[in-house]
Amino acid sequence: MAYARGRRWPFVLMILAVAFVAFEIPPYFTGDPTQSRIQPEPQLAAYFPVLTAHVILGCSALLAGCLQVWPWLRARHPRVHRIAGRVYVGLCIVAGIMALYLATNTPYGPVARASSTVLATLWIATSLAGLFAARRKTSPPTGGG
């Protein structure tokens, strides 16, 4: 039973990720800044479009990341795993750069600015570290499939 329970976590992760995405994305498809969960800076014309793209790309990265940590997919379909990994890294880098723009222009003060900048930088750095580890084939073992 413990063996089967250990295999369920990727599905639980995917369900949580899909639920988060289903909650987070809809307001940004309207194109209406007043529907945004974060109120855009009125003096920055690019803020809302960058925020919208960041949310959509970040949520897509979240879903692609779920595929990356699924041991069964990595073991049985390595090509799909590699493609999903490249998509994940690309999405993380682009969404991370957008996060840096949003962080430096946040209306929520210096603490939010600093913490969001650190988070965006770490997101980009860890994504690149994962890419480089995969290229060197030094990623940690998955523990079976």
Domains of the chain, by residue range, sit at: 2-25+44-136
Task: Quickly state the pLDDT bin for 26 (edges 50, 70, 90).
Answer: very high
pLDDT exceeds cutoff 80 at 1: no
CA atoms within 13 A on the CB side of 94: 17
pLDDT averaged over every residue in the chain: 89
Task: Quickly state the pLDDT bin for 142 (edges 50, 70, 90).
Answer: low
Question: In this predicted structure, what is the pLDDT of residue 97?
Answer: 98
Q: Which residue in 82, 94, 19, 89 sits closest to 56, CA to CA?
A: 94
pLDDT digits (tens, 9 = 90+) for 55-76: 999 999 999 999 998 999 989 9
Q: How far is CA 130 from CA 87, 92, 108, in A?
A: 13, 11, 31
For residue 52, give every residue at least 6 positions away whose Cβ sits within 8 Å of its Cβ, in sequence order, or none.
28, 31, 36
* pTM of this structure: 0.84
